Homo-oligomer: A and B are copies of this chain.
């Protein structure tokens, strides 16, 4: 693996999951792999789990880590190639990227979509320019459209909690929120579950919240949450804004909050969420604090997901 920005960068998902689970057992297994290597973590947006888990993973591999909050400690990057820079952006990505490439061995970056212009967001211009101009491996810490380290952790978590021979029924259900959120977790989870191929994948959401078919592919999609939840083994709860009516919140989502009662039709399903979660809005507290919630393990697995990815890049 050279870069890690999507499931498409992964040759063998099963092997990557196995590597992550090995690190979970033996965090210090390759504690010298990254000796004298330096990783930069570049943030344009807030982060807690991703920020900390990636640092932990890099340290477990013996790498030196430097965190840089570009939005707060630096300045606004310009991405437009033809611009006369007489506005608010202070530095062009074409100038910043090769410099960062000279300081680091691996560069990780988090950026969010604006949710105003779909083509702009979906072109992932920051990631693609970092890849083009930095000269070093680029790892997405969540981009405008995808969140692959989260999705890898999600697949690891499902793997750990599933021992049966049959494929688990994995349901991604939309949940209410008070503001328009990116599609990246839902897109990315869809892309990974499809790529992984070891699940029966169902997506449910209100009409108008259809995701980009590039990611959902031949998942079963229904507007009927109750039907979707029938016999579910895993229920992944997440809000997203509209893709087709780009970035819009189409309704208050009344009746879509996942409650214990609603889960009664599932096969004693495990409950997942990428966190942070809005309690009693996306999910009832009862469900989150219940025995079937695996959100903490899912977040804890972020370390092993990142460690497996960094390890593969270092071994490239």
Contact = CB atoms under 8 A, between A and B. Distances in A.
B66 A56 contact: yes
A185 to B, nearest CB: 15
A178 interface: yes
**Copies of this chain, count:** 3
B73 A51 contact: yes
B52 A66 contact: yes
Given A46-B75, A70-B48, A103-B52, A85 B299 contact: no
Given A75-B46, A299-B102, A86 B38 contact: no
Contacts of A91: 48, 275-277
Contacts of A74: 46-48, 51
Interface string A276-312: 1111110001001100000110011001000000000
Given A86-B281, A90-B276, A91-B276, A102 B46 contact: no
A64 interface: yes
Top-4 shortest CB links A-B: A91-B276, A102-B300, A85-B278, A99-B299
Contacts of A70: 48
Contacts of A303: 102-103
Nearest to A53: B103
Contact of A69 (B66, B73, B95, B280): B73
| Residue among A84, A98, A277 facing the most chain B CB atoms (10 A cut-off) | A84
Interface string A77-90: 01001111111001
26 contacts: A27-B36, A38-B56, A40-B52, A46-B73, A46-B74, A47-B73, A48-B75, A48-B99, A51-B73, A52-B66, A56-B103, A72-B73, A78-B279, A86-B281, A91-B277, A94-B285, A94-B288, A95-B275, A95-B277, A95-B288, A95-B295, A95-B296, A99-B296, A99-B299, A102-B296, A102-B300
